[in-house]
Amino acid sequence: KVHTNLEILDRIGQVTGMLPAQLLTPLCQRIPITANQ
């Protein structure tokens, strides 16, 4: 079975007790900073 990124985030959320949005927000904030460097 192929897992989508959302399914992976949801699975991580179940393990860590965090919502997928909480995991995604720091990632989205980090990407533009890395791209600009």
- So where are the chain's domains? 5-36
Q: State how far the alpha carbon of 2 is from the alpha carbons of 5, 11, 32, 36, in Å.
A: 10, 13, 28, 32
Per-residue pLDDT at 23: 62
Query: Can you tell me the distance from the alpha carbon of 24 to that of 31, in angstroms, rounded to the nearest whole number?
Result: 11
CA atoms within 13 A on the CB side of 9: 12
> Mean pLDDT, to the nearest integer, of 1-25?
74
* pTM for the structure as a whole: 0.35
pLDDT band of 6, cuts 50, 70, 90: confident
Query: Can you tell me the distance from the alpha carbon of 36 to that of 4, in angstroms, rounded to the nearest whole number?
Result: 27
